[in-house]
Chains A and B, each alone.
Chain A
């Protein structure tokens, strides 16, 4: 690992902020996708049984 010089704290803070921001965006996108897929599967099953 290289030394980050006298302003290392700003470089680390910038990359940590990006890591946190990306983790939040990716996590939120995947969580929304999973819960929507689960709800749709439930409704599809119920819809099919109602029609039968």
Chain B
């Protein structure tokens, strides 16, 4: 087969090769990290120096600029894992389980941050740090699901076998995401319903939406950077495991 007749490798297949994936995505890390830093600087400036207090909640509205993005990421990271789980089970894409494994601890961290900032916002607004209502309880369940997934990955020596088990567990756990989203509509709750993405448009003024959107993108880009770095690390970990096995076989022979 000559070079002219050889089939072209699609970007999908190219990304399936761990070494190619690292080579292709490594140049993205620093520009994305710089963009994230700029977004955080701008978001914090707007949050503290260029946005008004809310007419009802006063200055506690500023907690929203860190609570909403972390709450969004708690669900977005899980959605990323669920799509990766499909990639593992349906296409057996080698990078899908790397993505699943790398995202789980990040998702757990963002969920814990969302719960913490939520309770800091809840005390002055509702008079309580915690209430066992639909939104808060389902988000706590999400944290336990993340921690369960992290533990499950560590329970297996064979990471390929672990990937299939974790993928099924992840897809079963995905049922919790619509429960979190619609809990405020289904059950009586202290938590306010959706106020940004509604059919009638955002229910808040531009002066509050601006810092919220900037922080939303800052946190999302931070996740992308951390996910890429964690995926590169996981690829290297697997290479280390391969080399260690080869050396162990060599020294046993």
Contact = CB atoms under 8 A, between A and B. Distances in A.
Q: Do A and B come from one complex?
A: yes
Contact of A18 (B70, B123, B233): B70
Contact of A14 (B63, B105, B244, B246): B63
Contacts, number: 94
Given A14-B120, A33-B233, A25 B62 contact: no
B83 interface: no
Interface in A13-29: 13-15, 17-18, 21-22, 24-26, 28-29
B106 interface: yes
B67 A14 contact: yes
B226 A43 contact: no
A25 to B, nearest CB: 5
A36 B243 CA distance: 13
Nearest to A26: B226
A46 to B, nearest CB: 7
B68 to A, nearest CB: 12
- Interface size grouping (class) on chain A: 20 to 34
A46 B116 contact: no
Interface string B45-64: 00011000100001110110
Contacts of A4: 59, 62
Interface string B19-55: 0000000000000000000000000000011000100
Interface in B229-249: 229-230, 232-233, 236-237, 239-240, 243-244, 246-247
Nearest to A8: B59
Contact of A7 (B60, B70, B229): B60
Q: Tell which of B53, B63, B233 has the most Cβ of chain A within 10 Å.
A: B233
A11 B229 contact: no
Given A10-B63, A25-B226, A17 B113 contact: yes
B124 A10 contact: yes
Nearest to A16: B120
Given A7-B60, A11-B63, A18-B66, A44 B243 contact: yes
Interface of A: 1-8, 10-11, 13-15, 17-18, 21-22, 24-26, 28-30, 32-33, 36-37, 39-40, 43-44, 46-47, 50
Interface of B: 48-49, 53, 58-60, 62-63, 66-67, 70, 105-106, 109, 112-113, 116-117, 120-121, 123-124, 222, 226, 229-230, 232-233, 236-237, 239-240, 243-244, 246-247, 250
Given A10-B63, A17-B113, A33-B229, 10 more contacts: A14-B121, A17-B116, A17-B117, A21-B109, A24-B109, A25-B106, A28-B105, A29-B233, A36-B237, A37-B233
